Every structure is written in C-alpha cells, then in structure tokens.
A and B are shown apart, each in its own frame.
Chain A
Amino acid sequence: MFSEEELKQVEELKSHYPTNLSAVMGVLHMYQDKYGHISDEGITYVANLLEVPEENVLGVVTFYEMYHQHKTGKYKLQVCTNVSCMLRGSDMVLQTIKDKIGIGIGEMTDDGLFSVHEAECLGSCGTAPMMSVNKDYHENLTPETINELIDALKAKG
C-alpha cells in the first residue's frame, strides 16, 4: 500500500530505533496521512511491514486519540477537553460547532468536510480553549472565531 518512496521512508524511520516496535507510531502516522484513517487492514499492513504482532499495533492505534480507526472529515476538528480547556470553555467550543454544522464528538458531516473529535491535552494550555484542525492549532477560541474559522474552511472546500 506504500509506494517505493514511502517504503524508503519507512526504512529510514526504522534506522532511528533499536527495535521495529519503536517505529510503529511513525509508520502509523504515514499511513493515516495517506489514507485519512487506519482501517483493520491498515493495522495488519503496518504490522506485517514492521514484522511486529498485529496485537501491538492495534494496541497503539486504540490507545492514542490522534489515530482514527474510522473515516474522518477532510477537516478534523480536534477539540481539547482536558482540564485547562474545560475550565476555559471547551463545552462552549463543542456547542458552537454543534450549532454551526450540526455534529458532535465522533460524528462527521454528510458532505465529508468536517468531523469532530475529542482530543487529549495538545500542550497549549496557555491559550485555552483550543482545538487543532488537522495539524494547525486554533487558540483562545470564542464563538465568533469558531464561526469565522468554519466559514473560511467551508469556503475553501
């Protein structure tokens, strides 16, 4: 499922670590970047590629929030709900999104543009409440900035 080029990248990743098990996370990221989420077939593929048990790869995928086992939207709205963000209004963030595009945690819009995810601490407590959209951080969120952001993303398509 990986191209020649990507397989070279996997080899490069493997060379950083004493065991292949350590390269699992990096390779999973590569897989998710390519396919959007990590299906059961993806887990088996990565396990076979790195010659590690499927059980261990599945354990990693199901442990970390940033790996998705189901199809996600083009824009993944990952809302931090850990203590700092919760105190500073992550409930408001989720509610604003729900009002705007009608979906909550674990859901995706019918057009496949947005999906909402609950994220564990993203290390940006000083600018809470925050969320990441794919790999970009959006901080100090207010209902206005959230609406503007979603509108902008919709316009981008």
Chain B
Amino acid sequence: MKQHTTRMTLTIDNKTVTADTGASILDVARQNGIDIPTLCWHEQLSPHGGCRMCIVEVEGLSHFPTACTTPAADGMIVRTHTAQIREMRAEILQLFLSEHTASCLVCDEQEECREYMSTVRKAGVTTGCRYCPKDGQCELQAVTESLGVRDIIYPIYYRGIPVETEDPFYDRDYNLCILCGRCVRMCQEVRLADVLAYKHRGRDAIIGPAFARTHLEAGCEFCGACVSVCPTGTLREKARAWEGAPDREEITTCTFCGVGCQVRLLVKEDRIIGSLPADDPTVNQGQLCVKGRFCNTELVNGHQRIRHPYRRENDIAWDVSWDAAFELIAEKLRSSAPERTGMLVSSNLTNEDLYVAQKFMRVVMKTHHIDSTARLFYGSGFSAYLTLMDRAVPLSAIRDASAVLMVGLDTRFSRSVVGVAIRTAMKRGIRMFTLHSREHTFSLNADVWLQPEVGEEYRYVEALVRLAAGEDVTDRSIPADMRVRLADVARALSESDSPVILVGAEFLQYDSSRAFLAAVAQLADHVGAGVLTLPAQNNLYGSLLSGSFPELLPGMRPTADAARLQKLESLWGTSLTGLTDAWNADHLLRDDCAMQFLYAVGALPPVHRGAAKFTVFQNMYPPEPYCSADLVLPTAAATETDGSFLNGERRVQRVRRAVAPPGIALPDWDILCRLARHMGAEGFAFTRPEEIREEMAQVIPGFGEAEIDARGILPLAFDAVMHVSGNGTAQRPPDSDHPFILHSSVVEHTHRGFPLAAWVEGSRILFPEGVLDISAEDARALGLRDGDSVHVSGASFEEIYPVRIVRQQPRGALHASILESALTHPNPQPVSVRKADV
C-alpha cells in the first residue's frame, strides 16, 4: 500500500530542516543531529511526555511543550537549548534527583572517588558513598552530566522502600525509580501482559502489580523487557547487576526451543554477561522469553562446567588428556560389535555437530545406531508429530491470521514471543481459541477456552473435525457447555480466511497423543488452516535433516533409499550396505537392552536401566552421580561454537561463537572429528563448521545457501516413517485403590538433556523438574504442605515426589514434570497418593 506523505519545512535552532508529516519535534531534531535530552522516551514505546526533559520553545506558544509528544508542523520555529530551557531542565532534573538516592551523581567526592578506586579498600567504603549497579550505564547519570547539574537545592527525600528480591531473575529497588513509566508501557503496550501499573500518586507513587502480589503471582512472564528499558538501576538482573558495561556484542540464535529467537550476547573479558533480544524482524521482533533473556547467561557460566576430559571407575574420577580419552574410546569401540553400539544425541546440537555424529556412526562404526532423545520426548506420537511439523507455516502467519487455535500451548515461560504475537493479533481483532486441560496464560483472555479432562484432548479435536465437516458431535462424554463452545470454534475456523493452528508441547506425552496429533492434521485439512508446531527442541528439524536417526539418512531420506545410499557411499568413499538399524533410543528404557558401548552426545542416558558396558558422556555439565558414565568429555556451549540450526519454521539460523569454551573443552563436531582421525578414518578432516556445511550441501537438497528461499526457509519435505513405541493404550479410570489420575509431562525446559532447573537458579522456581502438582483441596485432605514428599503408586509404578500446591490444578488430578527417560508408565494413569515417611 502506498502511503501518502508530504514533506514539511521547519526551523530548529536556526537550522532549516525538512521532515515527513507526522513526525514529532523530537524525531525531526534527532534526524538532524540535534540532541534533546530525554528520560521517559524509548524507541520501542509510545511517547509519554512524563519526564519533561525534552521541553522546547516553540515560537507563538506561551508554554513549553514536550518535543516527544508535539507533532512538528510546517513553518514551526523551535529552539531547543535556550538559556531559559536549560535552566528549567536543570530545575526539573533536581526534582528527580531529590528523590533518587544516587547521591554519587552530584557528589563532591566524585573526583576523589575515582582516585580511591585503585586502593585496597573499596572506594565506596573510603568515601562513604552508596553505589548503584547501573553506574556508568545509567541514563539519569548521563543526563545529569550533560546538563551540568552539580548541586541539588531541594532536600533529599529518601523513600526507604525495601528492595524487592523475592522474585527470580531480577530485583527491584524502587528508591531509584524516577517513574518514567517505560516498564509499564513495555508491559502494557508491547508485551500486552498488563502485569505492571502505576499505584498511588505524588511521592507515594510506585510501580508494581495489583495488591501485594509478587510478579510471580501476578502472572509475570519474566521476559525481562521491563529490565531492558529501565533507564536507572531500579530494575536489575540478579546475575548481571554488577557486571558493568559489555566490551562487545555477538548476535546468535537462542537454543531453548524451536522458535529460534535471535539474541544479542553481551560479552565482557571473554565471558557472556547477558543476553538481550536482537531486533530481528522475522522471528522474535525484539522480544524474548525468560529462558532466552535470563537462563542463557547462567547456563553457560556455571562454575560446575566440565573443563577437562575425565575417567570414572568405581566412584573414583581422574583427569585424562584428549589423546588418552580418544585412545580409550578407540579401544572400547574396537571390541564392541556394531549392533551393540549406539549413540544418543540431543536435538539441541547444531546441524554440523549432528551431521558429523551420524557420519561417525555410519562410516566409522558401520551402524545406523544414532538416535535423538527427541524420540523419547514425543513417545508414541513421534511420527505423527513429525508429519504435522512438516506442514509448518512461517511465524509471520500468526500476524496475518484471522483466527488462531492454540492446542496444548502455554506461552508464559516458553515461546513467549509467540504469545506476544498472538496478543498483538487479538488486539487487531482476530478470534483466538485455546484448547488446554489446565489453566494457562491464555485461558482467561481467549475468546473460547476449550477445557477437556486430562487425557481427553483428542476427543475435543476429533469433535472439531466432525463439526468442521458439517456433522454433529455424538460424543456424550463431552459436557454440553463444551459442545456449544466446540461448535462456535469449528464455525469460526471454517469461516476464517486464514486460520492458524499452533501446537505446543503439552500433553504430547499422553498415550492418546497419536490420535490427538492425527486429529489436528485432519482439522487443519478440513478448515484449510496453516499448522505451526513449536517443538521444544530447538534443532529438531536439523536432527532430522542431518540424519541423526536410525531410520533417516542425511536429507531426511529413509535408510532404505538405495539412490541416497549410493550417493553417500561415493561422497564418503565407503560402503554403507548391510549396516544394522535395529536399535533406537526406546531400547534404552528396556531392562533387557544390553549395549556394549553407548556414546551420549549432549544427552543424559536413562539411569537405572539400559546401562551399557561402557558409556561416554559428552556434555557441558558433569553427569548426575548415579549416572553410569565411564568417560566424561567437556564440550563447548552453543555460545562457544559456530554452526547453524533449523527452527520449527525450517529457517536456517546462524550460531556464532562469542567466547572460548572453558578449560580444554571443544565443540562436539571437533571432538568427533578428532576421534575419527585418531581411529584412522577418512573424511573427517574438517577444521571449520563451514567445511561441514559445504559437504552437507552436497547431500542435502536445499541446504546450499543458494536454494534457501527469500524468507530464509528451507524447502523440505518429510516423508519417512519413524518407528514409534506404544500403541496408545486406552486410559483406565480411577478406582477405589487408585483415586487420583496422574498425568506426566516431560519437562521441556531442558538443554542438552539437563533440566534448566539443575543449573539455573531462578528456573527452579519457575519450572521445576521432578515435582508433583496437586490442588489445594486435595493437599488439604491429605494433610500435605508445599514441599512435602509423597509416595505415588500405580499398577506398575512407584515414585516419590516433592509436592507443589497449585491453585489451577483440577481436583483429583495430579501432574508430574519428569525427564523423558523417566516416562515408562501408562500416561495418564490412576494412582494412589500418601505422604511419604520421613
């Protein structure tokens, strides 16, 4: 659409300038290099006119308007730096400072302070000053300096508000707050989350959620957008508060889910000190979720990171050199039969890591035995999920959609940029429906919330399919009011020009997931909807494409594809006939799985069962003490290697090395290449990820840069059949011995097999692993308090969990978040619960 704009001419500080109509005086001034101080203005937010720093003189006006809120007009004569205006700004600034505890801004000892900085005693102790974590990066400080304010004529009013530290990831010291309202506008206008608002007024005015709620209780997503725009030290990241300004930034791809947000890593002295959203127009549009914003830094900086290879035997561990480690692996591999050898990889690895890993197994070990832990995550619905994933529409489809149906998607702590896109679309007037058995971010503000009983989700989707096909719903197990809602949703989706179905990761582990996913595909066909699955694994597509499954060769072709095998044979210079493909990750969950050699690359092998005779554990963090790992190899984190990912839209995304790995850790591809060379194998002479990509482009249609379409999305088609375990057993109803229904979800907040809760402090509060959610009523009836241990037992299942009392949990239903390797029981299943003996 062509927009009609006209130019206008005005005079600012005696300079004649031209601008498009609609621009504010501030916009025009800044476009022309005229600096006007601001505090409440921010490029991502609407103009507020609150701080009064940008007041200017406009000829013909008796008052001094704020430049940010006043539209420029043709013929206007503006003066921005007259003596009078400078004086007024200084006066207003002093009012700010009289309520701001940072006396260092105008402190007489400023010079002296700098002198003492090199002494043994901290400068702050010597000069007796208070110090602020934002020192040197504070916008109030910058404005104070630019206006030359050195004294405050007003008495200092210290509000004495206790610093709020009870929430994870960031603290709040409202004594430093200047009420610019950037955080409120960010929360309300951009994130559309409505957690923050102004409360009270005058000198009692304060920012926060309603009542005495913590941010956690108020539904905060902990996206940190408010922290990023705070001009002072009020909102401060716990992990980064005292780090100061970064030396440089590096743009890379976040590794926590299939959305693939672009992040700006802040680097100081070869260490990651923070991660902020990159202004990426296609995927995250300058937004992040709590994981991308806060978990990155802590995850890669943990002091428990592995630095050296080490050997473990009989509970004794000792460091070994890389050469000794390779020799040991070579020796073990030489004595292991290919059919008893396997490699377990994580779909968090880069395409290059995964490609080298599968090549290693196929060329060196002569077996197709490589599998991703993603198979365990999706269980019996794996194949159905991949088929659905293959229909992926781009994320931009949400912005163009006229109706959206979310199934099993909660965007609070994960994929929250998608939540923002949906709320933005809702503001535009689209209809939004959500299907989810538990209360979640959208349960209250969706147009319709379809709330099935746990495990009954597929019945609802099947009902939608029938309704969309013009049939009636005959399923009487669905309550009447829900049938009305279903009819409404089916009608709206059918009538919509461009509906989109978004598939989250909830209830994918239920035994009914295959039926559920098949019904989603049918529904999409009936209503002509685009489907976007948002996998929990950031590089699930990459692991398919690189052939990291026993059924798949690089390029997502089945292992039996003779033409592809031939092509690979000539490229790799080796024979690929007669390779075994009888094993996959599901076998590790069986007690009779007797492997001679298991190589876990960025994955946690299941504990207690499926133990291999010899296990190599290659990861960022050491294995749990009870995990049988005989040799532990240190790998580089995603921030320490170059490579690429494929997100859920099939978009090729770059991963960039920002810092060096700790100790003598190496990237996964490098370790595997060195090992292969150590074993005398040909075709592993890669020294850079680019070289791996060049080889991949030869076997993977579409992977060459030239073939990626203008949107950056790979033209791919998945048509292989994956082996799946389980057959979707019917759910057993509760009985008198087992009065509760336990549904288990595999925790999706993981990285390289570890739950984030293991290494990132704040995530223990937001998304704990291995806890049992119970309703307040049930907890009361059983005499349970938060954190108590309970003994849960089913027909062939026994486990002890700590409980978490959750208001939203339906009565009689329990929910456990567990690791994928712990999911070996029927799900959902009837269980009994009793308080565990201490």
Residue of B with least CB distance to A65: B201
Which of B195, B201, B210, B218 interacts with A63 by CB under 8 Å? Answer: B201
A-chain residues with CB within 8 Å of residue B194 when the two chains form the complex: 53, 55-56
Per the 8 Å Cβ criterion, residues 201-253 of B in contact with A are 201, 209-211, 218
B-chain residues with CB within 8 Å of residue A59 when the two chains form the complex: 197-199
Per the 8 Å Cβ criterion, residues 610-657 of B in contact with A are none
B254 at interface by CB-CB < 8 Å: no
CB of B209 within 8 A of CB of A63, answer no
Distance of B748 from chain A, by nearest CB (Å)? 28
Residue of A with least CB distance to B205: A63
CB of A55 within 8 A of CB of B197, answer yes
A-chain residues with CB within 8 Å of residue B422 when the two chains form the complex: none
Please report the number of residue pairs spanning A and B whose Cβ atoms sit closer than 8 angstroms: 32
B196 at interface by CB-CB < 8 Å: yes
Distance of A72 from chain B, by nearest CB (Å)? 18
CB of B211 within 8 A of CB of A62, answer no
A-chain residues with CB within 8 Å of residue B188 when the two chains form the complex: 53
A-chain residues with CB within 8 Å of residue B211 when the two chains form the complex: 40, 43, 54, 58
Which of A55, A56, A57, A63 interacts with B200 by CB under 8 Å? Answer: A63
B-chain residues with CB within 8 Å of residue A62 when the two chains form the complex: 199-201
Q: Give CA–CA (A34, B218) in the complex, Å.
A: 28
Q: Give CA–CA (A43, B212) in the complex, Å.
A: 13
Per the 8 Å Cβ criterion, residues 17-56 of A in contact with B are 40, 43, 53-56
Distance of A17 from chain B, by nearest CB (Å)? 17
Q: Give CA–CA (A53, B199) in the complex, Å.
A: 13
Residue of A with least CB distance to B211: A40
Distance of B490 from chain A, by nearest CB (Å)? 25
CB of B201 within 8 A of CB of A55, answer no
A-chain residues with CB within 8 Å of residue B210 when the two chains form the complex: 43, 53-55, 57-58
A-chain residues with CB within 8 Å of residue B195 when the two chains form the complex: 55
Q: Give CA–CA (A62, B199) in the complex, Å.
A: 6
CB of A56 within 8 A of CB of B201, answer no
Q: Is the interface of B mostly helix, strand, loop or mixed?
A: loop
B-chain residues with CB within 8 Å of residue A63 when the two chains form the complex: 198, 200-201
Q: Give CA–CA (A40, B195) in the complex, Å.
A: 16
B-chain residues with CB within 8 Å of residue A55 when the two chains form the complex: 194-197, 209-210, 218
A-chain residues with CB within 8 Å of residue B200 when the two chains form the complex: 62-63
B-chain residues with CB within 8 Å of residue A57 when the two chains form the complex: 210
CB of B197 within 8 A of CB of A53, answer yes
Distance of B260 from chain A, by nearest CB (Å)? 31
Per the 8 Å Cβ criterion, residues 30-74 of B in contact with A are none
A-chain residues with CB within 8 Å of residue B201 when the two chains form the complex: 62-63
Per the 8 Å Cβ criterion, residues 160-206 of B in contact with A are 188, 194-201
B-chain residues with CB within 8 Å of residue A43 when the two chains form the complex: 210-211
Q: Give CA–CA (A59, B211) in the complex, Å.
A: 10
Q: Give CA–CA (A36, B305) in the complex, Å.
A: 61
B-chain residues with CB within 8 Å of residue A40 when the two chains form the complex: 211
Distance of A50 from chain B, by nearest CB (Å)? 13
Q: Give CA–CA (A59, B187) in the complex, Å.
A: 15
Q: Give CA–CA (A53, B218) in the complex, Å.
A: 11
Q: Give CA–CA (A40, B210) in the complex, Å.
A: 9
Residue of A with least CB distance to B193: A53
Distance of A39 from chain B, by nearest CB (Å)? 11
Residue of B with least CB distance to A53: B194
A-chain residues with CB within 8 Å of residue B199 when the two chains form the complex: 58-59, 62
Distance of B722 from chain A, by nearest CB (Å)? 45
Per the 8 Å Cβ criterion, residues 312-329 of B in contact with A are none
Q: Give CA–CA (A53, B209) in the complex, Å.
A: 10
Q: Give CA–CA (A59, B199) in the complex, Å.
A: 5
Q: Give CA–CA (A63, B641) in the complex, Å.
A: 52
* Interface flags, A75-100, vs B, CB<8A=1, else 0: 00000000000000000000000000
Distance of A105 from chain B, by nearest CB (Å)? 14
Distance of B648 from chain A, by nearest CB (Å)? 31
Q: Give CA–CA (A56, B185) in the complex, Å.
A: 12
Q: Give CA–CA (A92, B388) in the complex, Å.
A: 77
Residue of B with least CB distance to A47: B210
Q: Give CA–CA (A40, B211) in the complex, Å.
A: 7
Distance of A15 from chain B, by nearest CB (Å)? 19
Distance of A80 from chain B, by nearest CB (Å)? 16
Q: Give CA–CA (A122, B195) in the complex, Å.
A: 33
Distance of B432 from chain A, by nearest CB (Å)? 14
- Tell me which of A40, A53, A55, A63 has the highest count of chain B C-beta atoms within 10 A of its own C-beta: A55
Distance of B6 from chain A, by nearest CB (Å)? 28
Residue of B with least CB distance to A56: B197
A-chain residues with CB within 8 Å of residue B209 when the two chains form the complex: 55
Q: Give CA–CA (A58, B209) in the complex, Å.
A: 9
Residue of A with least CB distance to B195: A55
Distance of B365 from chain A, by nearest CB (Å)? 58
Per the 8 Å Cβ criterion, residues 323-375 of B in contact with A are none
Q: Give CA–CA (A31, B165) in the complex, Å.
A: 35
Q: Give CA–CA (A54, B188) in the complex, Å.
A: 12
Residue of B with least CB distance to A61: B199
Q: Give CA–CA (A62, B211) in the complex, Å.
A: 10
Q: Give CA–CA (A149, B338) in the complex, Å.
A: 101
Distance of B817 from chain A, by nearest CB (Å)? 29
Q: Give CA–CA (A43, B194) in the complex, Å.
A: 15
Q: Give CA–CA (A57, B199) in the complex, Å.
A: 10
Q: Give CA–CA (A88, B266) in the complex, Å.
A: 60
Q: Give CA–CA (A59, B210) in the complex, Å.
A: 8
Identify 16 residue pairs between A and B in the complex whose beta-carbon atoms are under 8 Å apart, listed by A's number.
A40-B211, A53-B188, A53-B194, A54-B210, A55-B194, A55-B195, A55-B196, A55-B197, A55-B210, A56-B197, A58-B199, A58-B211, A59-B198, A62-B199, A62-B200, A63-B200
Q: Which residues of B pack against A, CB within 8 Å?
A: 188, 194-201, 209-211, 218
- The 6 A-B pairs with the shortest beta carbon distances in the complex, nearest first, are A55-B197, A53-B194, A54-B210, A58-B210, A59-B197, A62-B200
- Apart from A53-B188, A59-B197: 4 A-B pairs, beta carbons within 8 A: A53-B194, A54-B211, A56-B194, A59-B198
